[in-house]
Amino acid sequence: MSVTTTVPGEPVLPDVKMHAVRPTEPVFATITKNERCTVSKKTASYIRQVEFDVSGTPLVGVCNPGQAIGVLAEGNDATGKPHKVRLYSLSSPKDGIDGQGKVYSVTVKRSIDEHWDTKKLFMGVCSNYLCDRAVGDKIRVSGPNGKRFLLPVDPNKNDYMFFATGTGIAPFRGMLLDLFKAKCTSKITLVMGAPPASDLLYHDFFLDMQTKFPNFTYLTAISREKQADGHDQLYVQDRLRTNRDQLLAQLSNDRNCIYICGLAGMELGIFQQLGFILQGSTLEQYLQCDPQALRDIRHWKREMLHKEIRPTKRVLMEVYA
Ligand code: A2P
C-alpha cells in the first residue's frame, strides 16, 4: 500500500519496513569490506565505505537507501553502561550491494576532535569502532529506521535535485545506484559539498555516471578552496546561483523534488536561494511562505522553518547537527 497525495507532481513514497530488528535484540552482521571513499589520500578526514553481510537475519531485503541502520559498539560508556545504538545512513541500493538484499553499506567519518576546555583528544566511539573493523569481524546491528526520506514508488514520475554535504552523500549514493539500475530517464542533479576537494566522496563514481547517463548532472561545491571552474569558495546552495541557467528548467518543472542531506543549516541556505530565484514563479511548489517572510528572504532564520517558511512534500530533508 502506498501513501496517496492529491497534489499532482508530489512524490508518492513507498511503505517500507521499519524496526525489523530492535536495538535491544540486535543481530550480528559480518564486515565484508572497509575502504576509504575519499577521492584523494591527501586528506585530513578519514571517511570509509563499510560493507556488511546480514544473511540469515530479518534485515535481509528490507534496507532502503534513505533509511538508517543501528550499530552497537562493543564496550561500555563512561558511566559503565553499554554504548547506546548509533544510527548510520545506508549508502547501498535497495537490493544491497550483492543484488540480493544481504550486503549493505554505510559511509562513516571518523569523529576525531579536541575537548575545548581540557584540550584532550576526543574520539567518537561508534564511528571509530566501525572504521576499525576488519573483514570477517562481526558487528551488532538493528533497524532499519526511517520512512520519510525515500525515492518515490515510481522513480520515472519525478525529477530529482539532490543536495549533500559531507557524509550526507550516503543516501544519495544508494538512491542514484537504484535510479541508474532502473535506467530512470528523469532529470537528476547531484550537488555535493565538501571542505577541500580532496574530501569529495565517491567522486570518481559520480564523474563516471555523468559520462554514462546524459540525464545526470554532477556539481561540486568546495567551501575552503576555489572551484575547478574558477568560482570562489562555495556552499552547495551557491550552485543554485552560479549554475542558475543550467538548473532553472528543472527547478521550474512540477515533477521536480528536492532532497537535502547533511549539516543542519544547509536547508535554510538552500531555501533562501530558492526564494531568490523562484519568488514570483514556482517557489510555492517547494516552500509555502508567509507574505511577510517573502519580503525579507535575506534575513530568514532557522527558527522560521515549519512556521513562516513551510517546505512542501516536494522537499525531503535529513539534516543533523
Ligand atoms: P565549512 O566547514 O567550510 O564551513 P564535512 O561534513 O566533510 O565537514 O563537510 C560539510 C560541508 O558543508 C563543508 O564544506 C562545510 O563548509 C559545508 N557547510 C557548513 N555549513 C553549511 C551551511 N550552513 N550550508 C551549506 N554548507 C555548509
pLDDT digits (tens, 9 = 90+) for 99-138: 999 999 999 999 999 988 999 998 999 999 999 999 999 9
Measure 82 CA to ligand 1 centroid, in angstroms: 32
For residue range 73-88, list pLDDT tens digits in order. Answer: 999 998 999 999 999 9
Residue 229 Cα to ligand 1 midpoint, Å, equals: 19
By alpha-carbon position, which residue is closest to atom 22 of ligand 1? 266
- 170-181 vs 203-212: helix crossing angle, rounded to 10: 30
CA 55 / ligand 1 centre spacing (Å): 36
Taking CA atoms, 255 is separated from 10, 101, 186, 271, 311, in Å, by 7, 29, 9, 18, 16
Q: What is the pLDDT of residue 41?
A: 75
Domain boundary assignment for the chain: 27-145, 155-320
CA neighbor of 151 nearest in space, from 15, 8, 13 = 13
| Ligand 1 atom at minimum distance from 224 CA | 3
List ligand 1's pocket residues with C-beta within 6 A: 45, 165-166, 193-195, 199, 223-224, 235-237, 263, 265-266, 269
CATH architecture for residues 155-320? 3-Layer(aba) Sandwich (3.40)
pLDDT beyond 60 at 2: no
Would you say domain 27-145 falls under CATH 2.40.30.10?
yes
Residue of 38, 48, 165, 199 with the most ligand 1 atoms within 8 Å of its CB, for mutation: 165
Q: What pTM does this model have?
A: 0.96
pLDDT value at 58 more than 60: yes
Convert the pLDDT of each residue in 237-270 to its tens digit: 999 999 999 999 999 999 999 999 999 999 999 9
